[in-house]
Amino acid sequence: MEKLTPLVLLFLFIGSNAFGQDPSFSQYDSAPLHLNPSLAGAFNGAHRISANYRNQWFQTLGNDSYRSGMLSYDSKIELKNSNQFGFGFHTLIDRAGSINFGTNEYNLSGSYKHILGNSKEAHHALAIGFSFGLAKRRIDEDALRWPVQNSNGGFIPTIAPEEGVLKINYSNISSGILWNYISNTRFSIQIGLAAFHLNKPNISFLVEGETNLDPRYVVHGNVELPLSKNISFINTLMYNYQGSLKLVSANNLNLFTTGLFCRRYFNETTRTKYIQAGLYLRHLYGPSFDPIKAVLYDAVVNLNLAQISIGFSYDRHPNFGSSFEISAGYIFAGKNRVQE
């Protein structure tokens, strides 16, 4: 393999850093294993399948938009006193830009939940989780123009480039903890902490280069406040920090009182059949972003029919255009779950 030209060296160095953050979903509560490995098995039922698809800035970038998809499965093993082991698997596929920069991740998660008190009454619960995964990143070689392919002022794509490393493989180690409070009414609180890429894998495209993937730290939580027999307000918060990029997603900040979800239950006796709508508010901070112009509003609608859940969100960036996201899930009822 010939020596890399300065232009290619620059491209590969910038590329490793520019795409050094994880893809994120607006409907992060609908991507539980991507949010926190301790959420494996944290649902009412026997098995759960979840899927998310996000198309970011499609209006401006067209076919070069940033597209992310995730599919997950998790289940659990019931223990004494309602304690449980949870386990799951999720895969993440991400494609970005005109060079079709791609990331494929495959992760296994495990968790243990311990109930503090009587699970049939108001109680607290603590969970800890771990995740291990393998990932691949690649650049579409056919979408690149290399110096060797320029001849006499023209571009000759049939000349095979002899430079560049366009595929890398690495592993991921992650962990998380979770605290829940469940009352006899619909009032509930959840707070979680998670850390991803604790092993700081090398994601450089250079043969002898080293660009470590920064750990991603997540703080998340939600509160349900019942207002009447059928109506609740849901307040959620997620703080995501990775390297020089900080992303705060919240549905209620001091200056944005419209950022609350309103949930309407179909009847008084169930927590699993409802429709909710509201807004996410997102602040994006980074060296190349204006904090004021990077305030985004996500309009979100979710429908939950006990075992089936569907969600849709839409947002528009003032500089980069529109994005949309779709989520879907299905829970297989277990023997201890009341069929509704």
Q: In this predicted model, what pLDDT tens digit does every residue of 168-227 receive, in sequence order? A: 899 999 999 999 998 888 899 999 999 999 999 988 877 777 888 889 888 899 999 999
Averaged pLDDT of the chain: 80
**Of 114, 97, 94, the residue nearest 106 (C-alpha):** 94
Q: Which of 83-92, 187-196, 296-305, 321-330 has the lowest mean pLDDT?
A: 296-305
Q: Which of 43-52, 70-79, 169-178, 320-329 has the lowest mean pLDDT?
A: 320-329
330, β-bridge pairs: 49, 308
Given a cut of 50, whether residue 9 has pLDDT beyond it is no
Higher per-residue confidence, 119 vs 131 = 131
Cβ atoms 124, 117 nearer than 8 A: yes
Give the integer Cα–Cα distance in Å for 100 and 63.
10
Which of the four pLDDT bands, split at 50, 70 and 90, describes residue 1? very low
**Of 326, 331, 340, the residue nearest 274 (C-alpha):** 340
pLDDT for residue 238: 85
The pTM (predicted TM-score) of the whole model is 0.82
Cβ atoms 261, 280 nearer than 8 A: no
pLDDT for residue 289: 46
Which of the four pLDDT bands, split at 50, 70 and 90, describes residue 29? confident
Give the integer Cα–Cα distance in Å for 35 and 307.
21
Give the integer Cα–Cα distance in Å for 276 and 264.
6
Give the integer Cα–Cα distance in Å for 166 and 84.
43
Which of the four pLDDT bands, split at 50, 70 and 90, describes residue 34? very high
Digit-coded pLDDT (tens) for 222-273: 999 999 989 999 998 888 888 765 555 554 333 333 457 999 999 877 778 9
Q: What is the largest CA-CA distance in the chain?
A: 79
Kind plus residue range of the DSSP H or E element containing 13:
helix 6-18
Range 79-88 average pLDDT: 91
Percentage of residues of the chain with pLDDT beyond 70:
76
Range 283-296 average pLDDT: 54
Alpha helices in 167-309 (DSSP H): none
CATH class as words, domain 6-332: mainly beta
Give the integer Cα–Cα distance in Å for 290 and 40.
36
